[in-house]
A = this chain, B = another copy of it.
Amino acid sequence: MAALTLLLLTAIICSSLTENPSNVSPPNIIIMLMDDMGWGDLGVFGQPSKETPNLDAMAAEGMLFPNFYTANPLCSPSRAALLTGRLPVRNGFYTTNAHARNAYTPQEIVGGISEDEILLPQILKKRGYVSKIVGKWHLGHRPQYLPLENGFDEWFGAPNCHFGPYRSNHSRPNIPVYNNSEMVGRYYEEFVIDRETGESNFTQMLLKEGLEFIQRQTKAQRPFFLYWAADSTHAPVYASKGFLGKSQRGRYGDAVMELDDSVGHILSSLRTLGIENNTFVFFTSDNGAALTSGPHQSGSNGPFLCGKETTFEGGMREPAIAWWPGRITKGTVSFQLASVMDLFTTSLALADIGPPDNRTLDGLDLTPVLLSSSDKVLDRPIFYYRGNEMMAVRLGQYKAHYWTWSNSWNEFKTGINFCPGEEVPGVTTHDQTEHTLQPILFHLGRDPGEKYPISVLSKEYSDVLSRISAVVEQHKNTLVPGIPQLNMCDMAVMNWAPAGCEKLGKCLKVPKSESWKCSWPH
């Protein structure tokens, strides 16, 4: 009798621990990830032009996260972190070719997302989700690395950034645009971005793709995951004709206005379809504004120091808004230290799926914060990585820099400046500078711009450092770096002849393979 009871009890416990097989449909999940958009680009985050009425309204109807971070100040690793819930140093999206370098996936890259990684859409499939990525992938462009090989059911977009050669000069290929598993054209060829005027209707295509997917899945009554990754705010910045010249901020602002408008259309379609109470939407960006691109081609990081490529706040603090009418209390501000990696873990929790138990996850489940009406804040650090180095850590309001670097003197002298008009002596260093014995400490509440290091002689410094040191030691002692995927480059792996090229007559001759260790200058 006792044995039977135990058996029953075990069965009950086990079934409650495994995936919930109930018929209650899990919520749809939409993650809108912007490209190089800065914290300060939204009205609600302090952009003086106040040209984002739809995003501002989204915040008023949802929850604002002023302390939301990416996992890396550059696109590819940030996106890999989002989809794996793991730091790039764990999921392999980094390089060991040199110390503390930002690596990504240009056309020459041999690697991509490791097959050992589990991506969000792969797990969501367990609960019947249909997943689509609309926009930029950036986790590797060779066949095995593409979205449909990694859990997504559908894709419309490009594998890499929309860099050139801009003309069809055949000395190197333009980036292809895919529809699912086959290319349907290339940027600057079939998918025109006018570099003179900045005109392109590509964001409108991404909007249409997103809306169509939402409508179709709603009709089919299948839960969906839409990863909407528009890239018009990445240089070369572009916008549709209807938006060009409309902003007070020039072309970059035009692009922001079009993205804001798109967000408005997407949220409004959820309402029209009557699924707004069953759809979790999150808006954020992949890294800070690319200040080095100059004012025409870059956004604003608000009060924060430097931008993209750096581990200062301007490089890694992101605009972030969660929206779920009826579930998330409207108009709230959460001061939770949160990360793009949390979107992985949170999405699993929303789908009522247990996280994979055979790997370390860096993302937290934010549902206690999102779905509670209290000011609940989970205690956790934020690690600021640049390639293989933990540059800094934030704990509460304090941030300790263990290494500082903006970029090299050599690069700086050629005009590449990640901190234009913002030199903080001893902080925005042009040599990689180690501070591990005496980290530079800032209080981000009273000094969000990282301009006033706390005196190492103060009690505040020693009190805080002892707490942070313990966290860092624990992190470093348990960290097992993944195999670096972004070390090797090869001209032969470029997008010469993507799947589908033959149907379009767009295949280019693949040159002889010759690989080299990629050079990552910063």
Query: Which residue numbers of A lie inside 8 Å of B, CB to CB?
Result: 40, 43, 45-50, 60, 64, 66-67, 247-250, 252-253, 294-296, 300, 302-303, 305, 333, 335, 397, 420-424, 427, 443-452
Check A305/B40 contact, CB under 8 A, given A48-B67, A64-B50, A333-B50: no
Question: Contact between A448 and B252 (Cβ–Cβ < 8 Å)?
Answer: no
The residues of B that contact A450 with a CB separation of less than 8 Å are 421
30 A–B contact pairs at CB < 8 A?
Answer: A40-B46, A40-B303, A43-B333, A46-B46, A46-B47, A46-B303, A48-B66, A48-B448, A49-B66, A49-B335, A50-B66, A50-B335, A60-B60, A247-B445, A248-B335, A248-B397, A249-B445, A250-B443, A250-B445, A250-B446, A253-B445, A295-B443, A295-B446, A300-B448, A303-B303, A420-B424, A420-B451, A421-B423, A421-B424, A423-B423
Question: Contact between A421 and B422 (Cβ–Cβ < 8 Å)?
Answer: yes
The residues of B that contact A249 with a CB separation of less than 8 Å are 445-446
Complexed CA–CA distance, A46 and B67 (Å): 13
The minimal Cβ–Cβ distance linking A184 to chain B, given in whole angstroms, is: 34
Question: Contact between A300 and B303 (Cβ–Cβ < 8 Å)?
Answer: yes
The residues of B that contact A248 with a CB separation of less than 8 Å are 335, 397, 445
The minimal Cβ–Cβ distance linking A13 to chain B, given in whole angstroms, is: 41
Complexed CA–CA distance, A435 and B247 (Å): 29
Complexed CA–CA distance, A272 and B447 (Å): 38
Question: Contact between B451 and A302 (Cβ–Cβ < 8 Å)?
Answer: no
User: What residue in chain B is nearest A47 (Cβ atoms)?
Assistant: B46
Check A446/B46 contact, CB under 8 A, given A422-B422, A423-B421, A452-B295: no
Question: Contact between B421 and A253 (Cβ–Cβ < 8 Å)?
Answer: no
Complexed CA–CA distance, A476 and B249 (Å): 30
The minimal Cβ–Cβ distance linking A391 to chain B, given in whole angstroms, is: 18
Complexed CA–CA distance, A447 and B247 (Å): 13
User: What residue in chain B is nearest A420 (Cβ atoms)?
Assistant: B451
The minimal Cβ–Cβ distance linking A310 to chain B, given in whole angstroms, is: 14
Question: Which has the most chain B C-beta neighbours within 10 Å: A303, A397, A424?
Answer: A303
The residues of B that contact A66 with a CB separation of less than 8 Å are 48-50
Complexed CA–CA distance, A212 and B479 (Å): 62
User: What residue in chain B is nearest A298 (Cβ atoms)?
Assistant: B446
Complexed CA–CA distance, A358 and B409 (Å): 60
Complexed CA–CA distance, A421 and B427 (Å): 9
Question: Which has the most chain B C-beta neighbours within 10 Å: A47, A64, A420, A447?
Answer: A447
User: What residue in chain B is nearest A300 (Cβ atoms)?
Assistant: B303
The residues of B that contact A421 with a CB separation of less than 8 Å are 305, 422-424, 427, 449-451
**Among all A-B residue pairs, the 9 with the closest Cβ atoms:** A46-B46, A421-B451, A248-B445, A250-B446, A295-B447, A421-B424, A295-B446, A50-B333, A48-B66
Question: Which has the most chain B C-beta neighbours within 10 Å: A46, A50, A294, A420?
Answer: A46
The minimal Cβ–Cβ distance linking A52 to chain B, given in whole angstroms, is: 11
